[in-house]
A and B are shown apart, each in its own frame.
Chain A
């Protein structure tokens, strides 16, 4: 292999046309960023879906089988928008129990 080939690999003709991202970001869990996690009180919840619409992460979701809102804690960053905007104050931000145990 000549020195030039060593530096430039197999040549520019074989390069991809642009940088292509291969993996979906759902493989990258951002749930460990959070300090507080949302906990919903389903007695107060009226399924207005405000939290589902306003969540920046798409972590608040509607379960099509049960018709209830749930939080995907793998992605929730704990910003608390859902708790702040909930019209019935059904969502409370809490410190996760495993974090409490560590303390």
Chain B
């Protein structure tokens, strides 16, 4: 088959009408789904969104929509993923979707959940239960949206909050956020003669959320997609607030090659920069990809493997900044050892 024929046959498959009119997949229990079942499910985060090539958060949202269990309403704070999916007059969502301002996505989700409950009591909606998902980037969670999020989970609203963490305000021009790691060069913490990038550590957000004593908190990364999707399903099943912190590489802001964004997602776990775990009722359990490095510490890679090739850490490889790499390694090791102690009872 020549390329043109191939393209023509592909074009037939690409219209939305076909996608939405596809018969629903036979109902398989979420935990028994094979990769093939998941692959054949139609995407509800549609193609044609205008994210950069190689966007990590776009992969995250695609996989999240494939892990849903029933009727769902999505609300999204301002951020990269909100911009790329809602450029007028197009929308990339095959779900009811509501945009809100940067700071109040969690408040919005609590409102939706309360409205659904009230309408259900009055008998105005047919659905027995509607899941509510709030999605925000690291700016909308670490910095601007923190008070709304803290309030919503304190009130115990039944929703899943998904944070896609690309470590900066990438959409507005790569500014520093509370989620930016130490040593990273951004436009507001530029690396130069005086400072080697951002000097402060990343805010321990998941610890703050965990301190609220909610039922389900987890961290995930899209390279381990099966793990991530099962965490989304668990978060939706919880009756109460659930929080999911997803690490999503951004090739534009991290100044990496677009094809490598998923390998950085993998490296973040291999070097223990971003260990993945879940906490059910406050009890932490390391997820299998990270547990491997707890059981076999010799396999753990040095942080330098993760820093290499990222333009935002390029200045650290100059001789005068070598000490920053040691500092990052030290901080990562400390964080990892602390986490191991917290998960001690569940390893082995």
Residues of A near any B CB (own CB < 8 A): 19, 21-30, 33-34, 48-49, 52-59, 61-62, 64, 70-75, 77-81, 83-85, 93, 96-98
Contacts and interface: CB of A to CB of B under 8 A. Distances in A.
Interface residues of B, number: 51
A58 B45 contact: yes
Given A25-B85, A28-B90, A53 B35 contact: yes
A81 B262 contact: yes
A56 B54 contact: yes
Contact of B16 (A26, A59, A77, A80): A26
A24 B16 contact: yes
Nearest to A34: B53
Given A25-B90, A34-B53, A56-B62, A81 B16 contact: no
A54 B248 CA distance: 12
Contacts of A83: 259
A29 B55 CA distance: 17
Contacts of A29: 14, 48
B21 interface: no
A64 B55 CA distance: 26
Interface in B60-107: 62-63, 85-86, 88-92, 94
Contacts of B33: none
B169 interface: no
B59 interface: yes
Contacts of B14: 26, 29, 72, 74-75
